[in-house]
Structure 1
Amino acid sequence: MTSLTASSISRRGLLGAFAATAVVAAPTYSNAAGFLRGGGDIRRIKMYNGRTGENIDTIYWIEGQYVGDAMSEVYRFFRDWRNGQTHEIDSRTIDIIAATQNLLDSDQPYTLISGYRSPQTNSMLRSNSSGVARTSLHLRGQAADLRMQGRSVAQMARAAAACRAGGVGRYSGSNFVHMDCGPVRSWGS
């Protein structure tokens, strides 16, 4: 029979207790909107766009309704910075971003690397990289590539995957996470 020392109990015991508590306390919702339920009557995103130098800190959903003016602001913020084209951004993508931001429990804004991509921009990126999909969800306003100061790619990807609401791509070498509202899947390292 093995006896446990006080130090092994405290370390292993605390880690085990934390893991068990996290599993029991974890939300059981199967999508990002579920993570946002019960979080109050508002939904908010806070982001910075390094390409344009713009910031957005907006409440885009109040008491069960998306706020039209705020959503228009989000569409403009997510525009293709290369040519200025805007596109409607799928509200599910915005919900995923807001839910992961809540799960990460950080005051830092996300940095938007890529939101909407026009067909011209996507073609140009595809010609320069094998990692750009021909039918990218960026083309439909259903994806965003993001980073956050003080949070690792692994932390952001875990938070996004916990939402079980879409695709999560880890791009550790480039320090960003892809989040989309497409089929639930994950890739990258």
Structure 2
Amino acid sequence: MRRRILLLGATAPALLTATMRSADAAPGRRTGRRQIGPAPRRLQLRHAATGARFSGPYHDGTLADPAAMAELSIVLADTRTGAVHPFDPRAIDILWEVARQARIGGGDLVVLSGYRTPETNAAVDGAGDSQHLRAGALDVQVASAQLTGFAEAALALGRGGVGVYQRRGFVHVDSGPVRRWGDVAPGPAGPGRAPADDRIARMAEAWAALRGR
């Protein structure tokens, strides 16, 4: 019995060392200076109508951070009523991926429209089935020099809806079915939007009027 205890005592440091090495090598842990595991996803955005901002990580690389998503939902709230709806993480992921692919950085992504209540959607003459009503759509203002690259990245991603409005300087992205409309080059990227739903010109004018009130 004494010999067994002594043997266990002799092997304990080796077992502890092996355990520590195994833990250090686990996904998401640091080994020396190297980060193992998916990198956090960060966003820096501002709502044009309210000036509300979000800056920081919203996703740990595996799952969306509930606290960060709650903050984003407030930033992207309905601008007429202040109503907040939990924003769809898939739409935020699409925005993050498009901005990354288009290499948009160094400043805020400017959002013209996020969540809308039915009343606000009607006021801006939005489509009755708009993804904005589900907190799953973002209209993003993009500088003219970057708009083509941003739009191409959104279309190439092949996720959700993409509306390109080059003359008005913004791109719509959403987490709904794959489709596209607006100033879009021809090509297989899903069905286009029905003409009855393409009211973006009046919507842009209505948003400008509402923001001036």
TM-score band (shorter)?
A: 0.7 to 0.9
Q: Secondary structure at the match of 2:124?
A: helix
**CA shift for structure 1 position 161:** 1.2
For residues 109-128 of structure 1, what are the structure 2 equivalents within 5 Å?
109-126=108-125
CA distance in 1, matches of 2:149, 2:108: 15
Greater Rg by CA: 2
Task: Determine which of 50, 53, 60 is the counterpart of 2:51.
Answer: 53
**Does 2:107 match 1:138?**
no
**CA shift for structure 1 position 66:** 1.4
**Does 2:163 match 1:169?**
yes
* Inter-CA distance 151–87: structure 2 relative to 1 (3 Å threshold): farther
More contact order relative to length (CA 8 Å, sep ≥ 6): 1
TM-score (norm: length of structure 1): 0.73
Q: Secondary structure at the match of 1:65?
A: coil
Cα-Cα RMSD = 1.8
**CA shift for structure 1 position 151:** 4.2
CA distance in 2, matches of 1:39, 1:136: 36
Q: Secondary structure at the match of 1:111?
A: strand
Q: 1:108·1:148 contact (CA, 8 Å) conserved in 2?
A: no
Residue correspondences, number:
147
Q: What is the identity, as a one-letter code, of the residue corresponding to 1:169?
A: G
Q: Secondary structure at the match of 1:66?
A: coil
* Inter-CA distance 150–44: structure 2 relative to 1 (3 Å threshold): farther
Q: Which runs of 5+ in 1 are unaligned?
A: 1-37, 127-131
* Inter-CA distance 39–93: structure 2 relative to 1 (3 Å threshold): farther
CA distance in 2, matches of 1:150, 1:175: 6
CA distance in 2, matches of 1:151, 1:73: 30
- Deviations along 1:123-152, one digit per CA (max 9) or x if unpaired, are 1111xxxxx211100000110000133644
**CA shift for structure 1 position 157:** 1.2
* Inter-CA distance 158–141: structure 2 relative to 1 (3 Å threshold): same
The sequence identity of aligned pairs, in percent, is 35
Q: What is the identity, as a one-letter code, of the residue corresponding to 2:54?
A: I
Q: What is the identity, as a one-letter code, of the residue corresponding to 2:175?
A: C
